[in-house]
Structure 1
């Protein structure tokens, strides 16, 4: 029982840190302080250390000599590569998911879209990014492909840490939700191709800002 609990605690810690990276809780160049993370999660340092090493093995974090585990910076070439992969994976997965969206899914998408719009008006980056992740996951889960979803979430690890930088320019941030409005309209019309175009527009629009933050 003790071994099982220990394993579960490590997995839970890993899942939480992975999600934090995905939604931009940490920023590029930031050193992850094990003691602080352990205190915030209410766990010992060992599960945190284990989770950080797993994430480093996935290239989501890097081990820096005499510094510890830090969040990597993306080069522009790396960002361009990630964007190409995201356009393929997320566009295809969203398109596949449209026919399977339920009425409840569409209602939830509309609620999340409204939350994102309000978050932008109040400059609440955390609420926006949380709602944005949930919005996209509804679309991608509807495709019914665990493998595609796993690939998407792995790619998100690469760009999550720079996502907060979307909010550095107010005029740019004000336009972040426009593609979601179009996507919601297309989804309600069961226009799978229209949803894919909206996803591609969303990713390309954010990329205009984020690429400038890369090395």
Structure 2
């Protein structure tokens, strides 16, 4: 597993901190927060926080409200249908591309992340599950070296991540989707199509739970 640490510029670090609050569901759908409150929450100045908010609003992760407030947009059935369609088109493709470029080093990292996911599921640690599930998927997608596709997927995860936190809160971690073992087995065998299918099944399960929790 790589131990290299890259220090981000302050504005980038603040963007990622706010992004993670959204991605891992600390800010829940529909929750409004003042810009000042968000700055206080992460201990940052107003200027870089405003810049981060502008970026995240452009990515669809936040929306502006009155009185200098922003909120995570609630997900709708139509939103979820579109997100499902695009994720199921792109993420299996990224998996196929990654499988063709797979290395022992990448597999080692994926196994390490999957162990963290399994430990989080066993212990009921929602935050740990969300973080390492994300790390597993995006380490895999990074291996594809398809920046345009990865950027699209990253935006979609931002839009659905807060809702997955609600799923975890309702059902706990025991019934969360986890097709990582099947994905890893296929990657070890060099079976790109089977790895892509496992990721597609993982996505369907996760988004299906979001639909049942929030929309039905």
TM surpasses 0.5: yes
Range class of TM-score, shorter chain:
0.7 to 0.9
The equivalent of 1:169 in structure 2 is 171
- Cross-structure match for 2:6: none
The 3-state SS of whatever aligns with 1:69 is strand
Q: Which residue of 1 aligns with 2:5?
A: none
Distance in 2 (CA, whole Å) between partners of 1:58 and 1:203 is 21
Structure 2: give runs of 5+ residues left out of the alignment.
1-8
Structure 1 counterpart of 2:93: 92
Residues 1:108 and 1:209: Cα distance change in structure 2 (over 3 Å) = same
> Deviations for 1:130-162, whole angstroms, at most 9, x for unmatched residues?
111110111101111111111111111211111
Aligned residue for 2:39, secondary structure, equals helix
Q: Is the 8 A contact 1:176 1:202 kept in 2?
A: no
> Which stretch of the first structure deviates more once superposed, 154-163 or 36-45?
36-45
Q: Does 1:68 align with 2:69?
A: yes
Provide the aligned C-alpha RMSD in A.
1.8
Equivalent residue, structure 1, for 2:207:
207
- Give the superposition deviation at 1:26: 1.5
The CA distance in 1 between the partners of 2:109 and 2:20, in whole Å, is 21
Structure-2 residue corresponding to 1:142: 143
CA distance in 1, matches of 2:194, 2:24: 26
Question: Cα–Cα, structure 1 residues 145 and 85, in superposed 2: closer, same or farther, change >3 Å?
Answer: same
8 Å CA contact 1:117, 1:177 repeated in 2: no
> Which residue of structure 2 lines up, in the alignment, with residue 191 of structure 1?
191
- The 1:74–1:177 alpha-carbon spacing in structure 2 relative to 1, beyond 3 Å, is closer
Could you tell me the TM-score, scaled by structure 1's length?
0.88
Q: Counterpart of 1:32 in 2: which secondary structure?
A: strand
Distance 1:192 1:36 in 2: 46
Q: Point out the structure with the larger helix share.
A: 1
Runs (5+) with no aligned partner, structure 1: 1-7
User: How many residues are paired up?
Assistant: 206
1:166 CA drift (Å): 2.5
- Are the equivalent residues in 2 in contact too, given 1:10–1:51 (CA < 8 A)? yes
C-alpha separation between the residues in 2 aligned to 1:108 and 1:58? 28
2: CA distance, partners of 1:34 / 1:181: 41
